[in-house]
Amino acid sequence: MNDFTSKCSTSVDGQKNCIYCSNKCVKNGSAYGKQRYLCKSCKRCFINTYDYNGYDPTINNSIKEHLKEGCGIRSISRLLKISVTTVLRRIKKIAKGITKPIIAMGKEYELDELCTYVREKNNQLWVAYAIRKDTKEVIDFAVGRRTNNTLKQITDTLILSNAVKVYTDKLKQYGTLLPTSIHSTKRNGTNHIERKNLTLRTHLKRLSRRTICFSRSTSILSACLKIYFWA
Ligand SMILES: [Zn+2]
């Protein structure tokens, strides 16, 4: 028995409820010796116990939760007893379904960049991201080489959203990317985002260490960040 058995609720009279929409279901033949059920409302099929956890419809949620708790790809694979490939594929799929939050106009932001690498220390990357100063929510992020381009993706978003003030560290690139009227490097201006970095660091380190190849891992890194920030 695993964690995913008996997910479907059965009422007293043996009535099965749908695991997707919890409406009433009917028996619908069997597959590999297992009773299949068909939902009358959403027309989806399911069985009671999934032998391979990867097929369990609730697995995506578990992946999301584990990821947000700082589990690496391999630990998720071990804990949920699904293959690494499935974990990676699902992470991409989950991330695809997440949309960026809508940015409010005329707010104050903190902007910072984290240094990380994929696969080797030589493959240096920046994760640039911005949080709203009042709500602390992450409004945008970019993963890329350590160039102005990566930072520009975020500074442009901030300029477009009529940011009143953008607090950054003293990295000189920001000076050319942000108009001086809204740019500030004052001490303690980036306190909140620095604190967020600490939490993120742990997670990022795991993610970058466990990836298989360079091109793929960048996209997985982005996907994980997307889930971490907005799921
Ligand atoms: Zn249903």
* pLDDT over threshold 80, residue 25: yes
Averaged pLDDT, 195-201: 81
**Ligand 1 center–CA 74 separation, angstroms:** 32
**Ligand 1 center–CA 19 separation, angstroms:** 7
**Ligand 1 center–CA 28 separation, angstroms:** 13
**Ligand 1 center–CA 20 separation, angstroms:** 5
**Ligand 1 center–CA 55 separation, angstroms:** 17
**Ligand 1 center–CA 46 separation, angstroms:** 10
**Ligand 1 center–CA 27 separation, angstroms:** 13
**Ligand 1 center–CA 100 separation, angstroms:** 29
For residue 210, what pLDDT is reported?
52
**Ligand 1 center–CA 41 separation, angstroms:** 5
In this structure, are strands 165-167 and 108-117 parallel, antiparallel, or unpaired? parallel
**Ligand 1 center–CA 42 separation, angstroms:** 4
Mean pLDDT, the chain, whole residue set = 84
Spell out the domains of the chain, with CATH numbers in brackets: 1-51 (no CATH), 108-213 (3.30.420.10)
Beta strands in the chain (DSSP E): 25-31, 34-39, 45-47, 108-117, 124-132, 138-144, 165-167, 183-184
Instruction: Compute the radius of gyration of the chain from its Cα atoms.
Output: 22
Contact criterion met (CB below 8 Å) for 209 and 122: no
Structure-model confidence comparison of residues 76 and 15, the more confident one: 76
Whether the model pTM is above 0.85:
no
Instruction: Name every residue whose Cβ is closer than 8 Å to that of residue 197 and which is 6 or more positions away in sequence.
Output: 112, 114
* pLDDT over threshold 80, residue 217: no
* pLDDT over threshold 90, residue 170: no
Structure-model confidence comparison of residues 130 and 194, the more confident one: 130
**Ligand 1 center–CA 58 separation, angstroms:** 14
Averaged pLDDT, 44-64: 84
Averaged pLDDT, 186-210: 75
| Closest listed residue to residue 163, CA positions, set 226, 103, 231 | 103
**Ligand 1 center–CA 60 separation, angstroms:** 18
